[in-house]
Amino acid sequence: MNKSKSITMAIFWLPWAVQACDLDFNLEPSPINVSYEPFSAVGALGKTTFELRNTAQEDKFILDLRAIEAPTLDEYQILFEANTSDAQLRPIDDQRFELQLAPGESKKIDLNALVSHASVPPAGVTEITFELSATSANTGIDCWEQLYLPVHINAPSRAQFNIAGADTAYFDGPNLYHLDFGKLVSGMNRRVFFQLRANDKVTMTLESENNGRMVHQTQSKYGVAYTFSLEGQELDLSSKTTIHLETAPTFRGISMPVDITIGSTNGIPSGDYADTITIDVSAL
């Protein structure tokens, strides 16, 4: 009698455990606010701080800031600088950093954003959003789900004004210009240029002290009328005049010709004649 024996074999397959990237926030970053002077040649700086803790066994991570598509993104350049209290953070490029953080440790990171504009930024607030991510330097596994970091760029309304072609500009101060006609002759003309740059619409007001007349300095009953034309358009200076201007937001700005033409000088006594025009320029 033959006895048979059966042998049952159980084979178990155990997959390799995938190591998670356990890098978490003790403190999440707040939005970066940048106050940007429109005519700055060096740009502006904004800052935020966040704190990370490492609950994994690995100690090396890659921090990455990727811009999300925005209509104005090409006009701005944003460079990031990240710092810690020691040498545990190494820049890879302007938007990536290698972080060394021992298991169980936490580290505060100061993140600076240097913002510059290709030209002059328009007035208002521009928001450009970045995604802040972290991956394991060894496995490439993401450490957290999406986290967005907005950069708010606030450019105030600014206008800068200058007069080219006047005599002794800045002679009596940075905002006072002189225009000397010499001996007054009917029909005499002088041309200067109003130079203006702004990042918003501009309001310009002109007010003549003597309502569009050059008055004798000792005998005020005598005066000489003159015409005042801006870009070929004659302005009435018999009262306060307001005009609205638009200029492309560039560092160069615009230059507008101004022609001042002396009226009739018949029958006036000799002496010095003068008028003061007060010009106020403001961005809306």
Within 10 Å of residue 21's Cβ, how many Cβ atoms? 21
pLDDT score for 65 = 94
- Phi/psi zone of residue 182: left (φ > 0), alpha (ψ -120 to 50 degrees), beta? left
Token pair in block for residue 243: 């005009």
Topology of domain 159-283, CATH? Immunoglobulin-like (2.60.40)
- Give a three-class secondary structure readout of 140-180: CCECCCCCEEEEEEEECCCEEEEEECCECCCCCCCCCCECC
Place of tokens 């006036």: 268
Percent helix, strand, coil in the chain, to 5, is 0, 50, 50
pLDDT above 70 (res 90): yes
Span 122-144, average pLDDT: 91
pLDDT score for 17 = 46
Report the length, in residues, of the chain. Answer: 284
> Would 23-155 and 159-283 be classified into the same CATH topology?
yes
Calculate what percentage of the chain has a pLDDT beyond 90.
67
Span 4-14, average pLDDT: 48
Q: What is the model's pTM?
A: 0.74
Of 213, 260, 259, 217, residue with least CA distance to 239: 213
- Give 19's pLDDT tier (boundaries 50, 70, 90): low
Token pair in block for residue 176: 């006072």
Summarize pLDDT for 200-257 with one digit per residue, the tens: 999 999 999 999 999 999 999 999 999 999 999 999 999 999 999 988 788 889 999 9
Q: By mean pLDDT, which of 10-14, 212-216, 217-221, 262-266 is the weakest?
A: 10-14
Domain residue limits, the chain: 23-155, 159-283
d(CA 16, CA 101): 25
Q: By mean pLDDT, which of 4-13, 48-57, 101-110, 170-179 is the weakest?
A: 4-13
Span 41-70, average pLDDT: 90
What CATH number does the domain located at 23-155 have? 2.60.40.740
In the chain, what is the greatest distance between 2 CA atoms, to the nearest angstrom? 154
d(CA 77, CA 49): 21
pLDDT score for 16 = 44
d(CA 245, CA 256): 11
- Give 168's pLDDT tier (boundaries 50, 70, 90): low
